[in-house]
Structures are given as structure tokens and as C-alpha cells.
Amino acid sequence: MNLWEKCVAFHGHSCPGLAIGFRTVEAAQKWLGLVGFSHDEELVCVSENDACGIDAVQVLLGCSTGKGNLIHKDMGKQAFSFFDRKNNKKGRIVYKHPFSPNIQREELQKNILSTPLEELFELKMPDFEVPIQAKIFKSIQCEKCGESAMEQKMRLEDGKKLCLDCASAYTRGWGRLL
């Protein structure tokens, strides 16, 4: 099974979004010299979307939310910042959307997989530093529902420790503020 097929098997189907992630990893490997699979947090990816391409990053680079080295910063952009802690390298790879919006999905995927990286992406510097390594927080039991949550996600309300689900929403016209 080749690398593209591994990504498709993990994701469940082939699509243009997965192709963007696949080629993003290829660009990161070529332009930033990323090598191998991240077994811990030596490599960090901050994804600015929650789209299909993230699955390619997980399969090919070993970044995952559970491990703490795949961080979701939802800006709605096809942009991925990579930080190589071991070799002190970083870069932000941004998809340029170089194709017509009227192109069919299959043709778009084919074009993404075959177009030179320089035409698909820009390499920029992230405007933030490498995120700190994942930390294990103490769990606290909610005094209303009885479920445990990490301490930094708890709220103190009327002298009781409450999880975010049980705490009263604090809004000022923009929805729930956490």
C-alpha cells in the first residue's frame, strides 16, 4: 500500500481535501526537512481547519490530538503550521486555491495531486511560537453532575465547582463565552 492509499484507507474515501493534506505534508517534508513519524511531541502541527487534510497529517507525520501534537486553531483556512522541536524548524504552509471553483471533484483531486508544490502552496512563518508540550491536569469532580473534568475547564459558581456543561452560560450577545 502506498502512502496515498494509506491516507485514503484511514480517511475512508479519496477527496480533494485529503489531497490538500497529503500535498501539505509533502511540502513540509521538502521545505522544512521534516523526516519520519512523530512518536511523541517532537513534531507539532497547528491546523487552521478541521477538514479532511488533517487525516493525512495524522497518518503521514504521526500528529494527533490525543498525543498533544495536533492542535486545532479553527480559522477556516487551509493552512498548517509545523514545528520541529528536535531540529528547531518551523513553517506555515498555506494552500493558494489555484483552481477554478467550477472544476469537478475528481479533476480537482487529480490536479492537487499532480501540480508542483510551489503552485499549490506558500511557505510563510507562523506568527506564534511552538505550543508548549501537552500537560496532564488534575481532574475535579463536578458538584452537580458528578462527572470529572480537567481543573482548568471547571468553573466556580455559587461556591460550587462545576464543569462547563453544568455552569451557567455567561453571554453578552455573542453566544457562550467560556
Give the integer Cα–Cα distance in Å for 111 and 105.
10
pLDDT for the residue 175? 56
Please state which CATH number belongs to domain 3-124: 3.30.1330.130
Q: Looking at residue 76, what DSSP letter applies?
A: S
Predicted pLDDT of residue 178: 53
The Cα–Cα gap between 52 and 82 comes to: 17
For residues 160 and 143, the answer to whether their CB atoms sit within 8 Å is yes
pLDDT, residue 131, reads 82
pLDDT tens track, the chain, 178 positions: 899 999 999 999 999 999 999 999 999 999 999 988 999 999 999 999 999 999 999 999 999 999 999 999 999 999 999 999 999 999 999 999 888 889 999 999 999 999 999 999 999 999 988 888 888 889 999 999 999 999 999 999 999 999 999 999 877 665 555 5
All CATH 3.30.1330.130 domain ranges of the chain, comma separated, are 3-124
The cell numbers describing 52, all together, are 479532511
pLDDT reported for residue 172? 66
Other beta carbons within 10 angstroms of residue 9's beta carbon come to: 12
C-alpha cell read off for 137: 491536569
The pLDDT value recorded for residue 135 is 83
Q: Structure pTM?
A: 0.82
Predicted local distance difference test score (pLDDT) of residue 134: 80
